Amino acid sequence: MILFHVTTAAEEAAAATEEVETAAAVVEVVAVAAMVGVVVAARSGCLQKLKKGVSAYPGIECSGQIIAVSAIVTQWKVGDQVYALVNRGGYAEEVVVPSGQLLSVPRSVSLEDAASLPVVVVATVVMTLAYLQFKLQNIKEQRC
């Protein structure tokens, strides 16, 4: 069995407030989306080689309920249901998320479904850009 140690929200919040007064919220995680490649990389230790600020622990998509917000956050409040794409241990029970990375869960969407929304958005953007690049390349080739 491989266990992951993910810092607690209190430890993350303390670290964040030491750096600067951060606009962030603490989210009690209800659901996560699993990207198998990221989980395998984390379990094998590959993510520890990444730049500072990126957690070696798995979980980058999550959804849940805000349980605390920093004093300078005005657009979110305790109790809001949100989803986020995070770079620090989204598989934890609680995660500190910069307020700009939070999105409100639509009323018609469950928290379980909302956890998968960030990866859907990212995949859509990546595929759209790849398609446009392909089309532009074809246009350039036709002009020559």
Q: In the chain, what are the domain boundaries?
A: 9-143
Q: What is the pLDDT of residue 110?
A: 96
- Residues 107, 88 contacting (CB under 8 angstroms): no
Q: What is the pLDDT of residue 10?
A: 57
Q: What is the pLDDT of residue 2?
A: 38
Q: What is the pLDDT of residue 48?
A: 63
> How many residues comprise the chain?
144
Q: What is the pLDDT of residue 17?
A: 46
CATH number of 9-143: 3.90.180.10
Q: What is the pLDDT of residue 3?
A: 39
* Mean pLDDT, 10 residues at a time, the chain of 144 residues: 46 50 85 70 63 63 94 94 86 89 95 90 89 88 74
Q: What is the pLDDT of residue 20?
A: 36
